[in-house]
Structures are given as structure tokens and as C-alpha cells.
Amino acid sequence: MKTMFKCRAALPLALSFALAGCGEQPAAPAEKAKAQEAEGVIQLTAQQIEAAGIALVRPTAGVGTLSLPATIESDPQATQVVSAAIGGRIVALNRNLGEAVRRGEVVAVIESRDAAGLRAEVEAAQARANLARSNLAREERLFGLKVSPERDLIAARTAMTEANIALRLAGQQLSAAGVGGGSLNRIGFVAPIGGQVTARSVVLGQTVAPDAELFRVANLGRVAINLSLTPADASRVRVGTPVEVRAHARSATARVRFVSPVLDSATRLVPAVALFENDGGIWRPGEPVTAILQIGASGEAMSVPASAIQTVEGRTSVFVRTKNGFRAMSVTVTSRVGGMATVTGLSGREELAGEGSFTLKAELAKGEAEHGGH
């Protein structure tokens, strides 16, 4: 049998050019095909591998994926409801759906007898406080002139303290209800946060009960997706687990921020929430998306670059480095995400052909073709 040459002229074009400077003749086609057919073996030296631009990689502990349907929602921590603290008739609505609003801006005004009562109480408490302050000043002056006894001064100070307490209480009750709306029987309601109006539950002229929802305001600079996990999957998801959010040609990376310690009583699934930044507002609440979670895989799963995966004789394979070159090994791909593939069938100790592995596939195919022609 002829001696195998150090350089192999039958490699694909890129590899052939790399080896052209070796100055040796290629092996006979029949001998070359036989060597390649022995379990998909390709004989190459380290110099030839480097010249061909074949990168060597090692598999790493596998990361599995879990694909789930999901819906974009506003961040629960950045969503606030504007509600009517008192009942009455709506006389002004200053914002509509989708419009921006700043924190503290009046978004609705209600006309109500309760509002008139609250504001009247504030004015009455203010008048009583003013009177108590005036009485205290008079008693202090008379006491200084030794005209009034000390007990009158103490009583005036007590009355002043009580009047101030009543004034603060009346003011707090009014503040809890809203802000001034321009007249005694009107009160305004403000946005608690800045953002966009995502819901409006009332119309102008409508009469509402106390605590009725008027608006919903959300800061959409960050959005959320709610996930429902099986208990088995939830055991492999942690706070911080990356989630790829996909919708048509768009994608974003989110992080799990919450995994419920209990099952939902209705679905018997585990609720989880992932958040991600919504720069430019391209993700809208209510939009359906696909959420792909990168979760811990079983012990036999390995992660390899997607460039290492090739199809050899109809089987999904990788090229494992051997002492004299490479050998094609069949694997099973369980997922592909972000340029990486999760596979089974490897021990994790192998060294694989990564970038440039297609050259090896082409070499095998060329050897088979030459052998078939003889």
C-alpha cells in the first residue's frame, strides 16, 4: 500500500491552497476514499489544520432552552391607576389614550358635594387656626403686662395647638382626595407617575363612585412578560435566567425577575415574570411574542458553536479531533439559540472542529464522489 503523503491535494479549494506549498503529491483517489470511509476519518496534521483555518473548540456544559408563548405587558412596578377618591360627575378629562403625562399633572376633574365639603372644612380649619393664633398673641401680651393669669395663656396655647392639628387633618383629607380643581365643589386628580396613558375607563359627564378607576398610566421604558412554567421547568429557572424575546424580525434579551414559590391555583403552573428595556418604545403591551428561556440542561447535554454542526451522510454530526486528523461523530441537536447549539452524544472531553468544519464535510463528500467513480 502506498505511503500516505503529508499534504492532501484533494481537500476543498480553501484547504488545497493552504497546502499547496507542501511540495508533495496527493494520494491515489481510491486509497484516499478508503481512508475517509473508515468511520468518516480525515487525516490532517496540525500544520494542515492551521493552514486550512479550522478552529478547534471544546464543548461546554449544556444549556437547554424552553420556548413559550407570551404577551408583552407593562412593568407592574411602573404602572399606576388614577382612581376617584370621592364620587361625583366628571367635568374634565385632560388626557387621552396613548398620550404622555408627567407626574403630578391633573388628568381629570370631578364635581362633587363631597369635594365642596372637604374644601370647606379646610377653609374653616384655617379660620379657626388664625383665630387661635390671634388669641394666643393677645394672651401672651396680657400675661407680659401681668393683666391676664397664666392659666389663660396655657388655654390659648392649647387652643392654638388643637386648631393647627385640625387644619393639618383637613388638609391631609383634601390631599388624599386630590387637588384643587378651580372652584369649591371641584377636585382634580393627578398622575402619580410619568408615562403614557394605557387605559381610560370613563367619559366626560359620567358619574363615578368613590374609588372608581379613571386612568391607567404606565412608564413603558421597561416592559414585562408573564410566563407560566411547569413545576419541572420552574425548578431549572432562577432569578436572572436570560430570556430571548422574539417577534417576527425583532428580538430582545430579558431577565427573569420573579419566580413564584407557589403554583397558580387555577392553572397549576408556576408564574414567573421577566423584564427588559424598551428603548424607543418598539414593544407594545398586548403584543404576542415567543419567549425562549435558557435553562439548565440535563447532565449529558453539551453546548457547542453552531458552526461545528454539519450533516454528514444524512446524519447530524461534529468532527472530533483525533491523533491524525478528524473523525465525524453523530450527535443529536436539542436546540439552537444565539449561535450556539445544545447537543447530546458528547462526553465533554472532545476537541471539535468549529469555524471551518464545513471544509471537512466537503472533503468527505469529495472523497466519496471520487471513490464512486472508480
Listed residue (214, 198, 216, 192) closest to 88, CA to CA: 214
Give 217-273 pLDDT, tens digit per residue.
999 889 999 999 988 888 888 898 889 999 988 999 999 999 999 999 999 999 999
Q: pLDDT value at position 184? A: 74
More confident residue, 227 or 348: 227
83 burial class (0-12, 13-18, 19+ CB within 10 angstroms)? middle
d(CA 79, CA 71): 16
Give 54-70 pLDDT, tens digit per residue.
999 998 875 567 888 99
Q: pLDDT value at position 262? A: 94
Residue 21 has pLDDT above 70, yes or no: no
Query: What is the mean predicted confidence (pLDDT) over 109-120?
Result: 82
Give 280-324 pLDDT, tens digit per residue.
888 988 899 999 887 755 556 788 899 999 998 889 999 999 998
Give 72's pLDDT tier (boundaries 50, 70, 90): very high
Give 179's pLDDT tier (boundaries 50, 70, 90): low
**What domains lie within the chain, and their CATH numbers?**
13-61+300-372 (2.40.420.20), 65-77+219-296 (2.40.30.170), 79-218 (2.40.50.100)
Query: What is the mean predicted confidence (pLDDT) over 148-167?
Result: 92
Q: pLDDT value at position 4? A: 38
Query: What is the mean predicted confidence (pLDDT) over 71-76?
Result: 89
Q: What is the DSSP string of 170-195?
A: HHHHHHHH-EE-SSTTEEEEE-SS-E
> Within 10 A of 186 (CB to CB), how many other CB atoms are there?
20
Residue 363 has pLDDT above 90, yes or no: no
